[in-house]
A = this chain, B = another copy of it.
Amino acid sequence: MPKVSAAYKAARRDEIIDAALRCVQRDGYRGTSMAAVIAESGLSAGAIYGHFAGKQEILVAVAERVLAGRQADLEAARVDGQPLSPAALVSALVGGMRLEKATRVIPQVWAEAAVDPEIAEIAGRIFLRVHRLLRTELAAWAAAEPGRVDGDPGAWADLVVPAVIAAVPGFLVQRAILPQFDEDAFIAALPLVYRG
C-alpha cells in the first residue's frame, strides 16, 4: 500500500520543485518566498509543508535538481570513440548547457553556495564529479596525442581541468546578465580560442 502513496508523494514533490524553480528563475533564490511558491504551485501552505520541512529544504531540492541536470548534460556530451580535445570538450560542454531553459537559476545557486554550506556541499559535489569526468577524457586525449602535451597525461589533465571547465560559468553568467549576449557566436568562438 505504501507503493501508490510513495509514487504520489514523489509526483507532488516534483510539482512543488517545478513551481519553486519557476519562482527562482523569476525572483532569485533568496527573493523567492513561501507565499510565491504556494501561489505558483496552485497548492496551499499545508500541502507544501506536508512534503518539505521548510523553505530551505525546497530550495536545496531545486539546487540539487538543476545542478544534477547540468551534470547529466555533461556526461551525455561524452563520446565513447575518440577522446575529445580541450576545444572539442569545451564546445560539447557549453553546447549541452544551451538546452537549459532556466537560464538564471544556476548563477543563483552558485551565489547561494558561497553563503550556505549545505548548497555549497551540493555544488561542490557536482563540480568534483564533472572534474573527474573531464580528467578522464583529457588524460586519454593527451595520451593519444604524444608530443602535444608535456609530461604525464594524468598530471596534465589534473592541471587543465579547472581551466577547461571555466568556460561553463563564463557562458552561463554572460547569458544570464547581458541582454545582447549571442549564444551561437560564443560557441562558434570556442574552437578559435581553445587549443586542440
Contact = CB atoms under 8 A, between A and B. Distances in A.
Interface of A: 26-31, 86, 103-104, 107-108, 110-115, 120, 123-124, 127-128, 156, 159-160, 162-174, 176-179, 181-182, 185-186, 188-190, 192-195
A133 to B, nearest CB: 16
A194 B192 contact: no
Given A107-B110, A178-B127, A195-B194, A163 B167 contact: yes
Copies in the assembly, this chain = 2
Contacts of A29: 30, 111
Contacts of A124: 177-179
Given A127-B174, A177-B124, A159 B192 contact: yes
Contact of A114 (B163, B176, B195): B176
B176 A162 contact: no
A145 to B, nearest CB: 13
